[in-house]
Chain A
Amino acid sequence: MPGVYDEVGLTAQLRRIKQLYPDKVDAALAVADDIAYEIVIKTMDQILMTGFSSITFATGGPP
């Protein structure tokens, strides 16, 4: 069931990782099949905003 995502928490986590590894710019996104496209775009937006400019999509869903 789609719920509300913790966007603030995600941004905080990403910022923390960016502080630990400032040179790292790649991120891999694993998305489950039935997730709405809008949520994926929003997540990508947050990833880009926190400084990870190279996003790749995994062909499968989350493990």
Chain B
Amino acid sequence: MAIFRVGERFRKHRLLKRRGGRRDVTVVLSLTAMVDMFTVLVIFLLQSYNTTGRVIYLPKDVSLPKAQTIKPLSPSVVVTISEKEILVDKFVVATYADIKAQNEMLIPTLQKEVVAALARAKVEYDGKLQNKIKNLVQTDKKDLKTTAEEDKNTWKQVTVQADKGMDFQTVRKVLFTVTEAGAGQINFAVLKQALSNE
């Protein structure tokens, strides 16, 4: 610190003099350009997330077969058949070895679990407000036969996913049991195959 005589101040001190004119602390942000960029980014992300939004749980040892004639996934009870076990919506109901060993077509544990899962699906379906409104509107229409059947079957749908090397006898037993448990339409989960040129 410089030494001053009493009463005197060094008015031309180096640090007090501002070099280069005014020094601004703020940074000027180009807002219009930033908003444009964010808009483009949001639109791009929306496009890339344009899916049905349904997630299906797939165990690691199940590799699905490929097919071309496909429909989007719809909410339903999922039955998974792997080399080790049979699952209904993540719950293990039987082991593959047991199913292979049995001669009967019906699998009791699977049937019980599918019945319970379908009951839950029905409750969920009825509880949705949009379905309540749809049902009220449709009771006024005259030709509601096909639409009513379609509606009833949406909660009865069961999706079956099995490993592609699975022997069909096991799959047949599962299909039989699932039908006995009250399933309506059975859908098979596949991977989409690119359309081949004919």
Contact surface of A with B, Cβ cutoff 8 Å: 31-38, 40-42, 44-45, 48-49, 57, 59
Contacts and interface: CB of A to CB of B under 8 A. Distances in A.
Given A45-B68, A48-B69, A49-B69, A40 B171 contact: yes
B67 A42 contact: yes
Given A37-B65, A37-B166, A59-B172, 9 more contacts: A31-B168, A31-B172, A33-B172, A37-B162, A38-B65, A38-B165, A40-B171, A41-B66, A45-B67
Given A57-B172, A59-B176, A37 B69 contact: no
Interface in B157-183: 162-169, 171-172, 175-176
B190 interface: yes
Contacts of B169: 33-34
Contact of B167 (A33, A41, A44, A48): A33
A36 B67 contact: no
Contacts of A57: 172, 175
Contact of A37 (B68, B105, B164, B176): B164
B96 interface: no
Chain B residues touching A, majority SS: mixed
Contacts of A31: 168, 172
Give the 7 A-B CB pairs with smallest separation, nearest first.
A38-B164, A33-B169, A48-B69, A38-B65, A45-B67, A37-B166, A41-B65
A33 B168 contact: yes
B168 A37 contact: yes
Given A41-B67, A45-B69, A49-B68, A35 B168 contact: yes
B69 A41 contact: no
B38 interface: no
A38 B175 CA distance: 16
